[in-house]
Structure 1
Amino acid sequence: MANMTATRQPVPWTAPTATDPVATTVRLPGSKSMTARALVLSAIADGPSTLRGPLRARDTELMAAGLRGMGAHVSTVDDNRWVVRPRPLRGPAHVDVGLAGTVMRFVPPVAGLASGPVTFDGDPQARLRPLGPLVRALRSIGVRIDASDAGGLPLTVHGTGEVTGGEVVIDASASSQLVSGLLLAAAAFEKGIVVRHVGPPVPSAPHLRMTTQMLRAAGGAVDDGTPDVWAVQPGRLSGREWGIEPDLSGAVPFFAAALVTGGQVTLLGWPRSSTQPVDRLRQLLHQMGGEVTLGTDGLTVRGTGSVHGLDADLSDVSELTPVIAALAALADSPSRLHGVAHIRGHETDRLSALSQELTGIGADVTESHDGLEIRPRRLRGAVFKTYDDHRLAHAAAVIGLAVPGIELNDVACTSKTMPEFPALWSAMVAGQ
């Protein structure tokens, strides 16, 4: 088994404090979720595909490299136009998953279609991320996999060039990606697939809708009409042009800056209709004191000068939890965030990390099994650990707008989804 990825050196960073309301427009890279799905669907399609406006970041480059290693032609030379030409998939190959849930959960089902062994491993923390349900599901439809004693990374998929498919029962309460990974590759299985979820609710439902919508756009026959059941018929997917939307999750800290400073931030290029959960985000920001409008120039958030606490079930938009928690720590009333027990298995245990770091700067935080209660207090500058987690870095940056002396022990972790983040953030605060 190949060695895990070498440790990256941390880059300390002092979050800039805003002296005036921010007023800016930002044009952000493409959605990580859409880029990852488009790459997988393109790699198993019948013809070439292009991705317009993809996200170039660590997660998506690892995805491209993994598919390329198995034989697909993936050209990422042009930042704004990636080209994928499917080829027969083969091993031996090695996939470095880094710390990317999309890579570790979307690529193993594709590796079952390869001829030969494909090994998977990544950053040390990646070995702790939930993968066992996917491994068991793939074994149940005829894929031979060697996994760690814990049922996850490092693992080897012994591809035979075909996957039988059929019916799968899975507990996907730890991550919707466990279902999406099976569905994305299923049209190439001999019998397609029927996935039945049994267990607590599957989180991040908008991401599952994105998966089924993109599958249909590629020509896949998908039935998701029965709750907790998804069926994909065997068939051929078509190569196509994918227009990748701006990354809504990446925009959230910038929108939060409008609330914290009483300013205005516009995300340029936002589509009239979206596969991302913009309506839910609009509702949350409105509850916390923001005004959200969609105009011809993009999606605009205006702060009203106050940030309000809220009681919110974030199970469908759990990626937003760190930034919402940061806003809650700066609010004028207490907040209760719940429904996100599964984010303990993300890049780090996000609930524990948020509780510890917010407490460390003066907030009054109670951690529950599935969320946080945050009672605002006077905050103070201190070192804010990011735990190699880009969302924790975003949360720290938001707090730093209002609290001088917030020092991130590592801002380079933002390269996972937005390498430009420190520069974009500093420029926004400086009014550039």
Structure 2
Amino acid sequence: MLLDPTTLLLGCAALIVCAALVASFVRWPVWAIGLYIAVQLWQTRQNMHQPVPGAGLVLLPTDVLAVCLLVAALIMLTRNRGRRAPALLLALLGLTAYALIRGAGLFGLQAAGNEARIHFIQLFCVTLFVAVLSPGRNLARAFTLIWVLAACALSCLAVVGWLNVGIGSNSDRIMVDGALTGTRPVSAAEAMIIGQAATILLCGRRSVRGRALAWLLLVVVILAQHRTVWLATGVMITGWLLSRHRQTGSRTAALGVLGSLSMLYLGAVSWGTADEVTSSLAASSEDDRTLVWRMEGWHALLPQLAEVPDWLLGLPFGSGYDRVINGAFVAVSPHNYYLEVLMRLGLLGVALLLLVYATAWRAAGADSEHKLMLRLLICSQLVYMITYSLSPEQAVILGLSVACEQPRGACRPPSLEESPCLTKPHSSPASPARTARI
């Protein structure tokens, strides 16, 4: 079969671009993380997650970036033997590849690839890339900056949305271009980033501007009206307050929260919108139809695992999530990542996922400076996955926690002028003790 010259030229250009991306990711990992987060959020705002059925396997921008990140991670593992390969993540990628190959053989590459691309392939590839990086202050600071900037940008988009359509409850719908759409300007995944950024600022240095920005972000999370995000953020804030039980500032912080909410309410009253906001929040908190609907869907999916191999390794990608809830046919995802992993990777995949989180929790304790922040972020993900699939950008947090288990300073041998361990203070070359030791 002869290739068209234009197709061949485009293919060569794509290979060159991918090779350049891989090389830059290996050289500047922070650039890779920032680029992926920016493209992922832009892609989410453009509603590009679901390719049009029948259009073939359409590659998304994040698909290409995820593959480049995977290749860069493998290169870093082979070039630097001081880094440990996260065996659990590699095992999850292996199970995903096995389920993808099975699904491609049964249902075609389009159906299998479209189902596996976001919450499995991209998620595990990005996690592996971040997990093999050398931990340190620079990586943590870069992550903090990226997350806070993303949260501020999403908060601005939320404010613009509220100015256009007002603040609606989780069940309100508006007509846009002849179609009903939700009134919430940010999705649950985006609201989760905002809540996590607020927690990061609270766990960071005691800066008045940082704390003020954190409380503003928390107000945005409340008005975004995603109840799962409320719960996840509440868990993080509770953990942060419990960590301060010996500090007198915890009561001051609580009073500051109440004061901020009171001022917000008084401002709403003066603008004549308090009734709309409070009634909207009440409707969101009291509406249990979504939760009941999801629980019925979870129960309807389990009978699809009929055989022992299905329970052990899951069903192949492309099998879908078809079920009947209250007499209506439903084909959307189960809205529970634990169940989603069980359906596609089996009990073995669920066990590996939980072991990855256990490893991340233990590894986060090795970083005394960011221990609280990382563990609170891990808890938020564990809560979030109860009713939502884990979004790919959350892989950065999981990978960052796992990376703390990597030996620091393993990439180069220590010299006589510096300490072998970055956590130990080193004396001057002219120090008598050091001279005697030499």
The answer to whether TM tops 0.5 is: no
Would you tell me which structure has more helix in proportion to its own residues?
Answer: 2
TM-score (norm 2): 0.30
TM-score (norm 1): 0.31
